[in-house]
Structure 1
Amino acid sequence: MSLSKTLYEKDLYPEIENARETSYGADCLELVEDQYQRGLMDRRTFVRALGLLAAMPMASLSRPATAATQQLMIVNWGGISRPAYAKAFGAPYEAATGIKLEQDGSGPLPAKVRAMVQSGKVIWDLLDFDASKALVLDREGLLQPIDYDIVDRNKVYPGWAYHAGVAFYIYSCVLCFDASKFPNAKPNSWKDFWDVERFPGQRAMRKTPEGQIEACMMAAGRSIKDVYPIDLDLAMAKVKELKSHLVAWTTSAQSQDVLRNGEVTMCNLWHSRAGALYKESSGRFDWTWNQGLMNVDVWSVPKNNPAGPEMAMRFIAFAQDPERQVELLKLIGNGPVNPAAAALVPDDLKKFDPTQADHRAVQAELNPEWWNAPSGKGDKSNDTLAREMWLDALSS
C-alpha cells in the first residue's frame, strides 16, 4: 500500500477522513458565516471576507477544452450556497488582468486531485489546502513545481516556500481559556493546561491529533524548537493523564461552544476562533500565543492544469500582496505570510495576528515532513499511526 493511500483514502479510514474535512480552510468560511449570523459582521464585510477567501460557488464541474480560455479555476472549501458569494475574490484580479476566476467549493481532497491528474482530466488550476497534502501529492509527481522566477520566495516567511506549494496564510493552534474562572493567575502554557489543581475545570482538545500531540509534547517539557520528532507513546500517555478532565471537539463551532456554555475552562483551538470569542465576550475568553503551533495553507498547481502553469503562478504572485493579506487578517484573523505585512497591521489588530514578531517568537511550527514520514511500523505513516493512536487514547 502506498504512503499516500494510508494518509487520505476515505474507504480506509472514513471516520478519520470525515473529521479531517473540518480543515482550517473550511473553518474560515464557517466562521465568517457564524459571525454574520450572530450580527457581529455586517453584510458588506461578510461579502468582502468571502471574497478574500475565494468563497464563491463553483461555476461548473467542467472546463472548456480550449487553451485560449482566459480563466482560472480555484478549488477550496467554499461550498456554502449564498447569493453574497457571487461577489467574490476574483474581482480585483479580473479587473487587473482581464482573467476571470471561477471557484469550485467541493474541497481539494488529494484523492480527487490524484484521479484528475492520472486520468488526464484536470479541471482545477489552483489548490488551496494544507502543506502536508501538497507534500504527499508532490512526491507522487502530481503537482507542478512552483516557479520562483514568478512567485517571490522573499514574500513568504522562511520555511514555507515548498517545492510544489507556497504559503497563502498562517494559522495557529492556541490555548484559549475562560479568564473569569481564573481571577488570580492566567494559564500560559500546556503544562498549565494539564494542571487541574491550580487551574480547575474540564479541558477540550480536538478529536484529531494535529496541533494536539504537539501540545502533549510541550506539556511533557519539550521546548518549542524540540517538539519533533513526536514521541507518540509519550503523547498518548500525556493525553490519558488528562482523560477524566477531557472533552473532545469534532467541529470547530463546538470548540467555541464548550467554552461559551461553561462545559470547559480551557480549550486547544484555532486562533481565529479564540479571537472571535475574545471579541464577542469583551475579553472574558482570552488566549496565549505561548506554545502555540503555527501551520499554513498553501497554493499548489496540479500537473496539466487547463490554464497552464504560468497563468496560475502569476495569480499566486498577485495574491502575495501584503495589503490584501492584512485585509484578510482584519476580516477573519488569517495571519499574513508576507513578512512585509507585519508593519502594515494596525495596532488594534496586532493581538490577533499570529505573525507579529513577539507572537512568532514563542510558537512552534507544525512539521509536515514528520507527519508524512514512515512511522517504522508496517507501511503506516506517522500521520496514520498518530490518528489511530489518538482515537484509541480518547476512546479507551
Structure 2
Amino acid sequence: MLKKVLMMGAMATTISMAAACGNSSSESGKDKTDTLVITDWGGAITEAREDSIFEPFEKEFGVKIQVESPTDYGKYKTMVESGNVTWDVANVGSMWAAQAIKQDMFEPIDYDIVSKEGLFPNIANEYYVGAEMFSTAIAYNTEAFPDGNHPKTWEEFWDIEKFPGVRALSKRPYDTIEAALLADGVKPENLYPLDIDRAFKSLDKLKSRTEIVWWEAGAQPVELLSSGTVVATSAWSGRITAAKKDGAPVDIEYNQALLNSEAWSIPKGSKNKELAMKFINFATRAEPQSAFSESIDYSPINEKAIELLPNNVKERLGQAPEIADKQVRVNEEYWAEHFEKINQRFQEWLLK
C-alpha cells in the first residue's frame, strides 16, 4: 500500500510538470493537483494511516499525498538548516519535538485552521499537535502468572518474593525512571520533577534481588516473554496486544501504564504550510482518529474519537474509562530539558 501511495505521488508530480508545459488552462492552475509530502515511520503504522487518514484526506481535498519513511531526525534538521525543505508534515516523537522547538525547527501551528475541539489537554502545542498515544505498561507471561495473578503495579513488579522471576526493562531512562519511582511509592501526581536519586536507589533494589534484562527494541519484550526468558517486563502496549492476538502467552496490565505520544509537526520552511495545517486538522478529527485506532493499537488523541470506538477496542487500547484513569501521562517537556544529563547517569549506572 505504501508503494502505491509513493507511485501515486510520483505520478501526480509528473502530470503536473507535463501540464505546465502544455496549454494555458493548466498554467492557470485549473488542472493542477497539489501534492503533500508526509514523512512517517513506515510499516504497520503508516499502512493503518493510509486507509484511515491519508486516502480520506486525498478524496476530501482533491490532493495527492506522497509518503516518505522513516522519519529521520538528522535529515529533518539538515533540511531546515539548509533551507532545502522537501517535507510538508512529519510525524515525530513528542519528546524530540519539545527539544527541537529550541532549535527553531518548526512552523508555528495556525489554530485558526487546526481545531483543538475534542483534543486532550496539553496535546496541542504552539509548534506541534499530538498524532497518537501509546502506553509503556507492565507485560507478563500468562503461564508464569495465570488467572490474573500477576503484578498490577510497579511496586508489585519490583516484588520478587511475591512474583518471582527475571524482569526486563527498557534500556533508556525515559519511562524506566518513572517506573522506578512509582515502584518506590511516589504518587503519580507527584512524579515531576523526577527525584533521580530516589529512582536509582529503587533500581538498585530491583537489581540486587533479580537479574534484569535490558531491551532496546519494541519487539524484544514479546520475544523475552514468549520464550520464558523473563516473566515480566515493561513493554509498548501495541506490541503485546498484537502478540496476544496471535496466540502468544502474554498479556498487559494498564494500571500505572506510562502514556506517551507522537506528534504532527511542520518543518520550518515548508512550501505547503496551509495545506499542511489542513492535513493536521483533518488527521486529528474524531472520525479519522477513531478509524485509525480501530486498525492499529495506538490510542486517539481526540476524546470524541474514543467515544466512537467499540468497547472491545477501548479495552484493548486501555481507553475504557476504568482503565484510562489509571494511566500516567509522561511529562515530555521535562524530559526534553533533562534527558541528556539523566541518560548519561543512567548509562553509567548500567555499567556498574
TM superposition score category, shorter chain reference: 0.7 to 0.9
- The aligned counterpart of 1:351 is 315
- The aligned counterpart of 1:294 is 259
Q: Give the aligned length.
A: 332
Letter of the structure 1 residue corresponding to residue 335 of structure 2: W
Partner Cα separation in structure 1 for residue 275 and residue 82 of structure 2? 22
What residue ranges of structure 1 are gaps of 5+ in the alignment?
1-46, 374-381
| Root mean square deviation of aligned Cα | 3.0
- The aligned counterpart of 2:340 is 384
TM-score, normalising length: structure 2? 0.85
Deviates more, 1:90-99 or 1:63-72: 63-72
- The aligned counterpart of 1:189 is 153
Question: Residue 36 of structure 2 is aligned with which of 72, 80, 99?
Answer: 72
Shift of 1:154: 1.9
Partner Cα separation in structure 2 for residue 239 and residue 130 of structure 1? 26
Partner Cα separation in structure 2 for residue 239 and residue 281 of structure 1? 32
Q: How does 1:223-242 map to 2 (within 5 A)?
A: 223-242=187-206
Change (3 A) 1:75 1:182: same
Partner Cα separation in structure 1 for residue 47 and residue 136 of structure 2? 32
- The aligned counterpart of 1:112 is 75
Q: Deviations over 1:52-91 (max 9, x none)?
A: xx9868968xx999997711111122279x9999989632
Pick the structure with greater CA Rg: 2
Change (3 A) 1:212 1:58: farther
Secondary structure in 2 matching 1:210: helix
Change (3 A) 1:214 1:264: same
Secondary structure in 2 matching 1:225: helix
Contact 2:33/2:64 (8 A) holds in 1? no
Q: How does 1:367-378 map to 2 (within 5 A)?
A: 367-373=331-337
Partner Cα separation in structure 1 for residue 47 and residue 247 of structure 2? 30
Secondary structure in 2 matching 1:167: strand
Contact 1:239/1:393 (8 A) holds in 2? no
Contact 1:295/1:365 (8 A) holds in 2? yes
Secondary structure in 1 matching 2:59: helix
TM-score, normalising length: structure 1? 0.76
Contact 1:58/1:105 (8 A) holds in 2? no
Contact 1:56/1:79 (8 A) holds in 2? no
- The aligned counterpart of 2:57 is 93
Shift of 1:323: 2.6
Contact 2:9/2:35 (8 A) holds in 1? no
* Aligned-residue identity in percent: 30
Matched, 1:267 2:233: yes
- The aligned counterpart of 2:219 is 253
Change (3 A) 1:301 1:371: same
Question: Residue 162 of structure 1 is aligned with which of 109, 117, 125?
Answer: 125
Q: Deviations over 1:172-217 (max 9, x none)?
A: 1000112321247321100111111100111111111221111011
Contact 1:55/1:79 (8 A) holds in 2? no
Secondary structure in 1 matching 2:97: helix
Letter of the structure 2 residue corresponding to residue 393 of structure 1: W
What residue ranges of structure 2 are gaps of 5+ in the alignment?
21-28
